[in-house]
Amino acid sequence: MIRHLLVTGGCGFIGSNFVRFVLRERPRWRLTNIDDLTYSGNLANLADITDDPRYRFVKADINDRPTVDALVAECEAVVHFAAESHVDRSIQDARPFIVANVLGTQSLLDAVRGAGGRRFVHVSTDEVYGSLPLDRPELRFSEGTPLHANSPYSASKAASDLLVQSYHHTFGLDALITRCSNNFGPYQFPEKVIPLFITNLAEGHKVPLYGDGLNVRDWLHVEDHCEAILAVLEGGRAGEVYNIGGDNERNNLELTHAILDIMGLGHDMITPVADRPGHDRRYAIDASKIRHELGWTPSRSSWPRALADTVAWYLEHPHWWREIKSGEYRHYYARQYTER
Ligand code: NAD
Ligand code: TYD
């Protein structure tokens, strides 16, 4: 039985939504959040629950073993979100991805092992499966699809997935992996395409669309992802992988037009820019396993309603993203987009 849950990376986009979701859905649980507050970690994401007596924040790196050991010892289960998460940054510099995603996961796994075992849910991504072709719409990623990571980001996530599976196989750790498609919703760092485009447009700037704009992503609302992770934590089978997806494939041009329409702006606000190197063409998830085994289905992803709500959230919270966009992020943006 879980009384105290340890969450890593709870100050990021999905982690903060998950922390809030768990405190709401499981009122008897206590929750500790370890996060090192890297560029994408933001205390403002959880400002509304900071004073909740069931919640504790610890600022530390998941590679800090003494701290991680102490926190793991206190909990019954771990949900691991902490990671470097942006593909374009991994193309600029892969090293932080190896340190956080690979070594960081190993550090947590060793701590769990040292504590005599804990349920460990590793939050991974559909990107570990690589890319699907546009002309084979019937193809989707299942849990048995071989790993074929194409970016330094997805390679680091694939490496961490393999480590998790090896600790289950070799040491019998009660570890599970979730692989989800692209998330959207409140508190997403505005380097990812949806908040980047909404906030650029809100500031009167154009949006940089990579390549021909025909790359496809399977969009899922972050709360649906949180619900799926909780279902896996409570009901998943040790050693298993669970795919999570929204059955909601959109190409980037469609997505951009949808955002422009919601905001009442014209298609002239798109600037085509050079493609991302190695840009995966299409992701699509077969989520039938989690549906059949755990009864999970997305309940909030009625597109375009969920997209319109998301646009509204960013327009209603300009302080949240203006603060980010005026900080260190400006240097990344200049490096990423000025030469394109
Ligand atoms: P994010 O970048 O918004 O948040 C990452 C968080 O991890 C930040 O709070 C950061 O401070 C923290 N962190 C990073 N390195 C750390 C370290 N060494 N020690 C402690 N904390 C550290 O990312 P996100 O979009 O919320 O993604 C969370 C997880 O979900 C990642 O593992 C990612 O691979 C996975 N995922 C994301 C998506 C998506 O669409 N965003 C989809 C599927 C899976
Ligand atoms: P992103 O949000 O970076 O997620 P991921 O690459 O992990 O799927 O990008 C989503 C899609 O949007 C992807 O096909 C790349 C594209 N994209 C742009 O066209 N322009 C941009 O400025 C960004 C950040 C992404």
pLDDT at 328 (0 to 100): 78
| Cβ(36) – ligand 1 distance below 6 Å | yes
Residue of minimum CA distance from atom 3 in ligand 2? 192
Residue of minimum CA distance from atom 24 in ligand 2? 193
> Which residue ranges make up each domain of the chain?
4-189+219-249+280-303
What's the pLDDT tens digit per position in 188-228? 999 999 999 999 999 999 999 999 999 999 999 999 999 99
Nearest one of 107, 106, 149 to 125, comparing CA atoms:
149
Backbone dihedral angles phi then psi of residue 34, each to the nearest 5 degrees: -100, 125
| Cβ(120) – ligand 1 distance below 6 Å | no
Cis peptide bond prior to 298, omega within 30° of 0: no
| Cβ(193) – ligand 2 distance below 6 Å | yes
Instruction: Give the distance (Å) from ligand 1 centre to CA of residue 3.
Output: 24
Residue that is written with structure tokens 């990021």 in the block:
12
Angstrom distances, CA of residue 274 to CA of 93, 112, 207 = 19, 44, 13
Contact 276, 87 (CB under 8 A): yes
Residue of minimum CA distance from atom 25 in ligand 2? 193
Nearest one of 30, 241, 219 to 129, comparing CA atoms:
241
Angstrom distances, CA of residue 138 to CA of 170, 217, 243, 281, 317 = 36, 15, 17, 15, 39
**Residue 37 belongs to what H/E stretch?**
none
Instruction: For residues 68 and 62, give the distance between their C-alpha atoms in angstroms, rounded to a whole number.
Output: 6
Instruction: Give the distance (Å) from ligand 2 centre to CA of residue 88.
Output: 8
Instruction: For residues 16 and 18, give the distance between their C-alpha atoms in angstroms, rounded to a whole number.
Output: 5
Instruction: For residues 312 and 309, give the distance between their C-alpha atoms in angstroms, rounded to a whole number.
Output: 5
Looking at residue 192, the DSSP 8-state letter turns out to be S
Confirm or reject CATH 3.40.50.720 for domain 4-189+219-249+280-303, answering yes or no: yes
Residue that is written with structure tokens 């309603």 in the block:
305
Structural tokens at position 310: 């998301």
| Cβ(46) – ligand 2 distance below 6 Å | no
pLDDT at 333 (0 to 100): 85
Q: Which ligand approaches the C-alpha of residue 180 most closely?
A: 1
Instruction: For residues 133 and 79, give the distance between their C-alpha atoms in angstroms, rounded to a whole number.
Output: 32
pLDDT at 301 (0 to 100): 57
For the question of residue 174 being annotated catalytic, the response is no
Strands 216-218 and 183-184: unpaired
Nearest one of 35, 70, 63 to 50, comparing CA atoms:
35
Q: Which atom of ligand 1 sits closest to the CA of residue 127?
A: 43
Strands 30-35 and 183-184: unpaired
Residue of 35, 36, 129, 153 with catalytic role: 153
| Cβ(189) – ligand 1 distance below 6 Å | yes
The pTM of the full predicted model, rounded to 2 decimals, is: 0.98
Rg of the chain's alpha carbons, rounded to an integer? 19
Residue of minimum CA distance from atom 44 in ligand 1? 125
pLDDT at 152 (0 to 100): 98
Which 3 state secondary structure label does DSSP give 101?
helix
Residue of minimum CA distance from atom 11 in ligand 2? 193
| Cβ(87) – ligand 2 distance below 6 Å | yes
Looking at residue 123, the DSSP 8-state letter turns out to be E
**Residue 330 belongs to what H/E stretch?**
helix 329-337
The angle, 0 to 180 degrees and rounded to 10, between the axes of the packed helices 13-25 and 222-235 is 60
Q: Which atom of ligand 2 sits closest to the CA of residue 337?
A: 22
The residues of the chain scoring below 70 in pLDDT are 301, 340
Amino acid, res. 228:
A
